[in-house]
Amino acid sequence: MRALIQRVAQARVEIAGETVGEVGNGMLVLVCAMQGDGDEQAQLLARKTANLRIFESEPGKMNLSILKSGGGALVVSQFTLAADTSRGNRPGFSYAAPPDEGERLYELFAASLAEHGVPVETGRFGQEMQVHLVNDGPVTIWLDTAA
């Protein structure tokens, strides 16, 4: 599984003008399940995300995880993280998990992150969404369970 994590001062996701999830200080987590991913990858990614030390304990020192900083996570499905551009300019998405499995693993990731003690808000799988965020730092981190 893949995640693009952004430390945020605030973030929200809207569908048709309605806010369906939002957080203040915390992280926006864009998540993609890949072909061959299973429960183990979703749970590993959730654990890594919960313990990722990207929050400041003092100016210039990123020593705190979201668990220690008291922030929340906005988790949004993002199958385009599976983009393959090796054969031209139009991305292909054949490396993404099939939609049913992608949705199941997305939901498992969000539930596992919450089980670690992180307050979690979500978007809606497979929906057209508008994501608004204020990136704090900016801090943007790529996690991939295959790496």
What is the pairing mode between strands 26-32 and 72-77?
parallel
- Give me Rg for the CA atoms of the chain: 15
Backbone phi, then psi, for 41, in 5-degree steps? -70, -40
Of the candidates 45, 50, 44, 75, which has an alpha carbon nearest to the alpha carbon of residue 65?
A: 50
User: Can you spell out the DSSP letters for 104-144?
Assistant: HHHHHHHHHHHHTT--EEE--TTS--EEEEEEEEEEEEEEE
Q: Is 78 a catalytic residue?
A: yes
Catalytic residue among 6, 43, 49, 79: 79
Catalytic residue among 80, 127, 130, 140: 80
Q: Is 122 a catalytic residue?
A: no
Catalytic residue among 55, 78, 109, 122: 78
Q: Which residues carry out catalysis?
A: 78-80
